[in-house]
Structure 1
Amino acid sequence: MTAIGIHGGAGRMGRAITDAIESAGATLAGGVDAGDDPSPLAAAADVLVDFSTPRRSRRISPPRARRAPRSSSARPA
């Protein structure tokens, strides 16, 4: 079964997702919060759900997954 990790697990949404994972009988790999190192959880989990802050999200996302800033000439018509 897929092991699911929660980044921001102590927050309101993190607790709701944790409850949903447990209710569904899925595998919870664990959770981390502000001040915790997310690297061990990211290594242990097959999927990492991020309900942290945007600043913390940037710390755990690989560079290729980050959105490049849009230039003013790239606006949709």
Structure 2
Amino acid sequence: MTATGSKECPNESMNKVSHDQIMGMDVSRDWLDTYCLPDGLQLRLPNTADGHVPLATVARKRHALVCFETTGGQEWRL
């Protein structure tokens, strides 16, 4: 337990996620439209394995919290 009384996260990588770096994403069948805070970086990548790789790379380098919105189950590949 931590000082706040919550259990510690067993996944060490979660402790490295920055809430100062947030990536918001709209997921569609063909595209991943991403907007990054606080700097406003915008990415449009294909919703394919070839698009997921650079997206994951950007998220890891930023230690970003990634949030996405989807309709129709298009998020399952992520």
TM tier, smaller: 0.3 to 0.5
Higher helix fraction: Structure 1 or Structure 2?
1
**TM-score for the superposition, normalised by structure 2:** 0.36
**TM-score for the superposition, normalised by structure 1:** 0.36
Computing the radius of gyration from Cα coordinates, the structure with the larger value is 1
